[in-house]
Amino acid sequence: MSSQFYKSRGVSATKDDVHRAISSQDQGLLPGAFCKILPDPAGLSDWCMSFHADGAGTKSSVAYLMYRETGNPAWFAGLAQDAVVMNTDDLACVGAYDQFYLSNTIGRNAQRVDGDCLSAIIHGYDRIVEQFQEQGITLSMTGGETADVGDLVQTVICDASMFVRFPRCQLIDPSRIAPGMAIIGLASFGRMNGEVKENSGIGSNGLTAARHLLLHPDYRTRYPESYSSSMDPMLAYCGNWHLTDPLPGSELSVGEALLSPTRSFLPVIKTILKAMPLSIAALIHCTGGGQAKCRDFGHQIRYVKDNLFPAPPLFEALRETGQIDEKELYQVFNMGHRMELVCQPEEVDRIRSICGTFELETRVIGYTEANTSAFEGNEVIIKDRGQTHEYRSRGAAEPA
């Protein structure tokens, strides 16, 4: 599957090479689960555990640009939420929703990212821990590592790892996905309970593409440390926007939209799973792989997405650059919903009602059916804006 805009900037939207590299590894207790499941370290047969790692990715480059432009280190604080939520919401997809243990890692170039910037990130971790606590979710900080690695890192990397132990009866097994199910999308944009301002919906995926699609070439020459030294400089920052420019259709500036903290769906998911145990066939976090992410789950399933949210302002701005193919756009970005629930149609109304109590917008964005194509695997069909885009399982020939 080709993602030319990403590939030309040294990034893979599909990470096919990564999947090949890990293909021979043990898949844990539940092969095909969203995260690897391992036996309970306490030895209890009816419990299990997962240990996960993720981070804010190249969103930290946007924080660096905003810091350099304004002199305010507070722009780094949201990276902590990004790193945490990319872990918690992945783990929610296997049925874990409480009692998380977090360790964070910060790798920085100390000549560019000083102690005030580090303090902002660390306070960001404190803040997200407090927010989860207020929502009835326990997230415990266990420590971390801050490394000065200027030979390796041009600005800063913000990563985290997370441990959770939970009863096996909570496990969500995507092999339960069957034809005839509904797909509910949870909006990544707008404002839900607990958010103080509009969220653009960008999350923490696709930021390399988003930065270089939108931001003005001014940043190419002023901040060469903010992009890969192995990349052709003429591919860096090819857009028309400055960070402080208002984003059309939004209350945010372009810089604020790119830095919108990754929204956590964990409080909503916890409520749904406690109220409706075993009602969810799958939870799919639409991160790396965007709207094609679901192709990795289930067996011989065709996901038909024919009722997506209208593209929020930031994603519409990305489309309007004309620099990225429509098919690639849906593969790189979540395009308005970053979490999908797959369930029986009769469960839809109750799930959406629970989401409504959080003021979280939802939509039935599609359905599942049997994949009757000649190839072995899953297929994703996206029908939007009068176009149809097809994505197939890794290794299957892509449609012309």
Q: Identify whether the C-beta of residue 112 lies closer than 8 Å to the C-beta of residue 155.
A: yes
Q: Report the candidate in 334, 367, 324, 327 with the shortest Cα–Cα distance to residue 348.
A: 367
Which strand (E) or helix (H) includes residue 269?
helix 266-275
Q: Identify whether the C-beta of residue 371 lies closer than 8 Å to the C-beta of residue 364.
A: no
Task: Report the alpha-carbon angle 189-363-94, nearest 5.
Answer: 80
Distance from C-alpha of 80 to C-alpha of 262, rounded to nearest angstrom: 10
User: pLDDT at position 20, please?
Assistant: 63
User: pLDDT at position 1, please?
Assistant: 32
Which strand (E) or helix (H) includes residue 319?
helix 313-320
Which phi and psi (to 5°) does residue 392 adopt?
-115, 165
User: pLDDT at position 223, please?
Assistant: 98
Strand order in the sheet with 379-384: 280-285, 337-343, 182-187, 362-370, 301-305, 379-384, 387-392
Mean pLDDT of the chain, nearest integer: 94
**Residues 6 or more apart in contact with residue 36 via CB below 8 angstroms:** 27, 28, 50, 51
User: pLDDT at position 252, please?
Assistant: 98
* Cβ atoms within 10 Å, residue 43: 7
Q: What is the pLDDT of residues 340-354, one digit of tens each?
A: 999 999 999 999 999
Q: What is the pLDDT of residues 52-74, one digit of tens each?
A: 999 999 999 999 999 999 999 99
Distance from C-alpha of 33 to C-alpha of 27, rounded to nearest angstrom: 9
Distance from C-alpha of 240 to C-alpha of 7, rounded to nearest angstrom: 22
Q: For the chain, how long is the longest CA-to-CA vector?
A: 58
Q: Report the candidate in 52, 62, 91, 120 with the shortest Cα–Cα distance to residue 264.
A: 91
- Map out the domains of the chain with their CATH numbers: 4-392 (3.90.650.10)
Taken in order 9, 22, 177, 345, the sign of the CA dihedral is negative
Distance from C-alpha of 144 to C-alpha of 116, rounded to nearest angstrom: 18
Beta strands in the chain (DSSP E): 38-39, 47-55, 100-108, 139-148, 156-167, 182-187, 280-285, 301-305, 337-343, 362-370, 379-384, 387-392
Which strand (E) or helix (H) includes residue 84?
helix 78-92
Task: Report the alpha-carbon angle 65-337-262, nearest 5.
Answer: 35
Q: Identify whether the C-beta of residue 220 lies closer than 8 Å to the C-beta of residue 21.
A: no
**Tokens read off for 290:** 């965007």
Which strand (E) or helix (H) includes residue 224?
none
Over its length of 400 residues, how does the chain's per-residue pLDDT go in tens digits? 345 665 666 665 555 665 566 566 788 999 999 999 999 999 999 999 999 999 999 999 999 999 999 999 999 999 999 999 999 999 999 999 999 999 999 999 999 999 999 999 999 999 999 999 999 999 999 999 999 999 999 999 999 999 999 999 999 999 999 999 999 999 999 999 999 999 999 999 999 999 999 999 999 999 999 999 999 999 999 999 999 999 999 999 999 999 999 999 999 999 999 999 889 999 999 999 999 999 999 999 999 999 999 999 999 999 999 999 999 999 999 999 999 999 999 999 999 999 999 999 999 999 999 999 888 999 999 999 999 999 999 777 677 6
Q: Report the candidate in 110, 113, 126, 264 with the shortest Cα–Cα distance to residue 188.
A: 264
**Tokens read off for 36:** 């690897």
Q: What is the pLDDT of residues 145-188, one digit of tens each?
A: 999 999 999 999 999 999 999 999 999 999 999 999 999 999 99
User: pLDDT at position 17, please?
Assistant: 61
User: pLDDT at position 15, please?
Assistant: 57
